Structure 1
């Protein structure tokens, strides 16, 4: 006789053919806003997604979303370049002497889906120095007690634990305040941005690393400033000759 144990786990790749969420990035030190990669969760007018998106400014939006015979479980997303139901935006907002601040916004682009008791899992090396979180609940995930680089975030009950379907109320957001660790802290090489983000257990697609907002080249600015200063001095010198 033989016995065996079977353990069933959720597979994102078996549950759906395309990703369900993506991540966009921005920062105070760079004007570039890095969007979700194009066609992350499908493409507009694609044979695999016929009629699956609707323009947010369409005058027929209400009739399309709430029309008779519409299955509320059938995704109907807002027409975007990424075509994802969920977008997570990570914005490096402020830089203080001993702290730095991040704003996280979760936006729902699905007109037929509300997310109750949603959760977000974020991997970032500075979570061991998280000082304050303003509008989400927070719990560290530390399978290895010496490493605290993963956090679970979820909404505050009766305040933002319910993520509405696409529309003016279809987003939740919070700010995170981190303390700087002088031995590890830097804004260089994308360090300020998360390594990986999961929404409701699904792995969200990140932008390519070479597209991350980068720090301004201070050396070039310094050279330009010195050149400008010298040019101005020479001009003033010749004017008074």
Structure 2
């Protein structure tokens, strides 16, 4: 009456078959199953009503010699909603760059606000003398995050740092930090949207796969850890982070550091949309340092060469002629 199905691992023979009793004996009298629910991999899934599929599904026997047709086949569509899964987001994004001293941290209260009165134990201070007892105490196995106290209160923080600028390339460092004392994120993944992913050349310590299902533009990438190296994101602490660097080739028609172009448009961690800072807060290029014209650059180069020649001649005279 209330069957439970399990998604079998790849390679399992025949998949799974369910014999439904007392559901009718013909296409006219058969009754569709109701109230489908997906409990794994977690909450947040809502399933619609079963719709009859025509023609019914056909199954081939393991030896490939005969075909069996199901009496009736139904199709059930289940959708996932982050808002149904949990009240608040699970991750946030911080931004920084080599050309600006400003570090734009995760927005305040990205995943919730500190409120130990109504929700005691929801966060702990990193230097608290009771840290060990709280982490190892009652509720240790709970799925409710126990995070390090912070202005953003997120279990996961992603830091995108524009690290360097070369003649033909530019470099980014990504750091994913686990602020959750209750969870090791195994086999995590990060999905990043940025227009320059079409020109990514090297990713140093993450796996990478381009995501362009419609074949229109390659601006989205999935990143995940290397097996036995950084595919396990440990709980909060010294080992609670993974890092990698990405090297992009410059496209002269699109590349610029102006107006926050070097920062991602969206970031998802394990399928959850991360809270991004407001675009007007991005560490943009300083507006008080205009670009040098070719004439100004040439004048500076001439002055620099003259100074080097003067110092060199002065040192040679001091060495061989003595000081006057």
Q: TM-score range by the shorter chain?
A: 0.7 to 0.9
The match for 1:188 is 258
Q: Whose RCO is larger (CA < 8 A, sep 6+)?
A: 1
Q: CA deviation at 1:146?
A: 3.2
| Structure 2 counterpart of 1:169, from 226, 239, 250 | 239
| TM superposition score normalised by structure 2 | 0.66
Change in Cα spacing, 1:97 to 1:69, as seen in structure 2 (3 Å) is closer
| Structure 2 counterpart of 1:26, from 96, 103, 108 | 96
CA distance in 2, matches of 1:202, 1:124: 17
Would you say the 8 A contact 1:43–1:49 is kept in 2? no
The match for 1:14 is 84
Change in Cα spacing, 1:29 to 1:38, as seen in structure 2 (3 Å) is same
Q: CA deviation at 1:69?
A: 5.1
The match for 1:209 is 279
The match for 2:55 is none
The match for 1:101 is 171
Question: Structure 2, unaligned stretches of length 5 or more?
Answer: 1-27, 33-49, 52-74, 297-324
The match for 2:248 is 178
60-69 or 141-150: bigger deviation: 60-69
Secondary structure, aligned partner of 1:126: helix
- Aligned-residue CA RMSD (Å): 1.9
| Structure 1 counterpart of 2:162, from 92, 117, 123 | 92
| Structure 2 counterpart of 1:83, from 145, 153, 158 | 153
Would you say the 8 A contact 1:72–1:113 is kept in 2? no
The match for 1:63 is 133
The match for 2:184 is 114
| TM superposition score normalised by structure 1 | 0.88
Would you say the 8 A contact 2:116–2:122 is kept in 1? no
Which structure has the greater CA radius of gyration? Answer: 2
Would you say the 8 A contact 2:148–2:181 is kept in 1? yes
CA distance in 2, matches of 1:64, 1:192: 40
The match for 2:105 is 35
The match for 1:124 is 194
Q: CA deviation at 1:49?
A: 3.7
Would you say the 8 A contact 1:42–1:49 is kept in 2? no
